[in-house]
A and B are shown apart, each in its own frame.
Chain A
Amino acid sequence: MIEVKNVKKAFGKQQVLKDVSVEVEDGQVVVVLGPSGSGKTTLLRCINFLENADSGQLAIGDTCVDLKKATKKQILEIRRKTAFVFQNYNLFANKTALENVTEGLVTARHIPREEAIKRGKEALDWVGLGEKYHCYPCNLSGGQQQRVGIARAFVLNPEVILFDEPTSALDPELVGETLDIIKKVAGRGITMIVVTHEMSFAQDVANKVIFMDEGIVVEEASPEEIFSNPKEERTRQFLSRIISLDSNYSI
């Protein structure tokens, strides 16, 4: 189980997270929705210590840390229990697809090279990139890069994978193939927190939807409830715009 409690974070005078708490059960897929600037990404980055929160607690499995006062060792321990999929992929530019996937296994987890390569190849096969082991990221399309990114996270067998708008940098055609892979990851029973703007993905895959706005959790519920019967006015407002947008689009 992952528990984030009372996270606060400000950038200068801008209070981005105002006391956010989130709980995720093992195997659950939690989708975080909300308008731009609502703090979704910052929340995710705080969980992985890519941002230092101003206060708050984090518990992953049996590891509990204070988000503000965590030691280097605790940060490393949390990072080795989590994996992150970035909006702009952030593949290691100097490493091939396979090396990208094995890096965390060999260097961070000291898994023997042959074993890591075997697992890395399996992971790449699994995301449909069996042909691209030795390609450098600059020779892969955006969708392929993001699939390597997902394989890189998945191969670590983490307690949770954090997805930060994994499809926002992709064109509509590639969004589909990437979402399919993410669904496959969810199908493996891996705990996931996904920040996204893909409503239909949230509807299909999420066990729980969290709606954030202006640095607070406005509402959290099952996707059925959030999409058909939102309790908060702000949620309704946000969803109605998007849903009406969806239905009005006919080209």
Chain B
Amino acid sequence: MNFNTAHFFESFLYGIKYFPNTLRLVFIPLAIGLILGTVIALARVYKVPVLCKLLGIFVTVYQGVPIVVALMIYNLVFMLKFNDLAGFLHIKTKAADVDNIWVGIFALSLTAVCSISEAIRGALLSIDKGQDEAGYSVGLTKVQTIRRIIIPQMIPAAIPTLINHVVGLIKASSVVMAIGIIEIVAGATIPSSRTYSFFEGYVAAAVIYWAFTIMIEYLAKVLRRHTGRFRRNPYD
């Protein structure tokens, strides 16, 4: 098998062209995941009545569904039902007008919420109960204690697992090409269908993912050092 450098670079540029789509598919779910994941983890760790049970069931059930399956289901529901829903809400937009990248973002977001909530829950459980008690004993309310004492300690503890999930999310973002969204992989293989250089196309995609992941891991290290200043060993 010959490696065609020219085709490789062409694929590489196509991949880069669709990189912003991957960014959207990673960072919007990540932001949603961090916010809702933290809320879910707190509700479960601090045992908010009823809610904590329901959320526990939701997370367990949802994590059992492969992301491709979830994606297909959402896509079908979106294509079949969006127009009805839009009509019901008197919105003039039609399904055909909506970029289906939002279906991908929706599917990835729900997955991210579940996995990130578990990472954060683990980090919260690793914090000694005495930290809460100390907060209450100096007169802080529960919310003040969580915001000022618990969350700042949770962040550096959660980062290693969180980064794992972010890297997973980056890689999982490629499955959305199953519903026709063009991101790095689909983009990099666009020229391949003309040149038949699929190998070069996939290698180009792999190189872009690889660089992206290394960047994220470097950022994580900086973030961890910054948020974990109070820890004896910020790299542990």
Contacts and interface: CB of A to CB of B under 8 A. Distances in A.
A104 B149 contact: no
A80 interface: yes
B226 to A, nearest CB: 13
A50 B144 CA distance: 16
Interface stretch (A5-13, A85-93, A176-184, A219-227): A85-93
B130 A88 contact: yes
Given A88-B130, A107-B148, A138-B230, A49 B136 contact: yes
A91 B133 CA distance: 10
B137 interface: yes
Contacts of B148: 103, 107
Contact of A107 (B133, B144, B153): B144
Contacts of A153: 137-138
A250 interface: no
Interface string B144-165: 1000110011000000000000
Interface in A128-173: 136-139, 152-153, 156
Nearest to B229: A136
B66 interface: no
Contact of B128 (A80, A90, A107): A90
Q: Which of B130, B133, B139, B230 has the most CB of A within 10 A?
A: B139
A195 to B, nearest CB: 15
A83 B138 contact: yes
Contacts of A235: none
A47 to B, nearest CB: 11
A79 interface: yes
Contacts of A96: 230
A108 interface: yes
B112 to A, nearest CB: 26
For A79, A82, A88, the residue with the greatest tally of chain B CB atoms inside 10 Å of its CB is: A79
A80 B137 CA distance: 8
A185 to B, nearest CB: 16
Contacts of A83: 137-138
Name, among A48, A79, A90, A92, the residue most crowded by chain B CB atoms within 10 Å (CB to CB): A92
A57 to B, nearest CB: 20
A84 B133 CA distance: 9
A194 to B, nearest CB: 15
B93 interface: no
B140 interface: yes
Nearest to B233: A138
B39 to A, nearest CB: 21
B139 A76 contact: yes
Given A90-B134, A94-B152, A107-B148, A156 B139 contact: yes
B134 A108 contact: no
Contacts of A86: 130, 133-134, 137
Interface string B106-141: 000000000000000000000010110111111111
B120 to A, nearest CB: 16
B94 interface: no
Nearest to B228: A94
Instruction: Return the 8 tightest CB-CB contacts between A and B, nearest first.
Output: A104-B138, A108-B139, A84-B137, A90-B130, A90-B134, A80-B139, A138-B232, A136-B230
Given A92-B131, A108-B144, 15 more contacts: A48-B136, A79-B136, A84-B134, A86-B137, A91-B134, A93-B131, A93-B153, A93-B230, A95-B230, A103-B138, A109-B139, A136-B230, A137-B230, A153-B137, A156-B139
Interface of A: 48-50, 76, 79-80, 82-84, 86, 88, 90-96, 103-104, 107-109, 136-139, 152-153, 156
Interface of B: 128, 130-131, 133-141, 144, 148-149, 152-153, 229-232
